[in-house]
Amino acid sequence: MKRKESPSASRHPQVYGVITADLVESRRLTDRALVQRRLLNLIHSLNLGFRRGLVGPFMVTLGDEIQGMLKDLSAVPDAVTRVHEVFHPREITIGVGIGTLATPLAKRVTEMDGPAFVNSRIAVELAKKEGLEVVVRSGVGRVDDTLNAIYSLLGGIQVGWTDAQWERFNLYRRLGTIDRVAKKLKVSKQSISKSLRNTLWHRILDIEERLPSVFGELQSDAQWLRSGRLGG
User: Tell me: the pLDDT tens digits for 172-198?
Assistant: 999 999 999 999 999 999 999 999 998
State residue 14's pLDDT score.
87
> Residues 213, 18, 199, 41: is their CA dihedral positive or negative?
positive
Domain residue ranges of the chain, discontinuous segments joined by +: 11-139+212-226
Residue 229's pLDDT is what?
A: 55
pTM score: 0.88
Q: Tell me the per-residue pLDDT of 25-64, one tens digit each, with 9 for 90 and over.
A: 765 666 778 888 899 999 999 999 999 999 999 999 987 8
- Specify the pLDDT at position 67: 97
Strand-pair partners of 137? 97
Looking at 3.30.420.130, 3.20.20.210, 3.40.50.2300, 3.30.70.270, the CATH number of the domain 11-139+212-226 comes to 3.30.70.270
Quote the CA–CA distance of 80 and 133 in Å, as a whole number: 10
Helix (H) or strand (E) run with residue 95 in it: strand 92-99
Listing DSSP states for 161-222 in one string gives: S-HHHHHHHHHHHHH-SHHHHHHHHTS-HHHHHHHHTTS-HHHHHHHHHHHHHHHHHHHH-H
Asked if residue 223 has pLDDT above 70, the reply is no
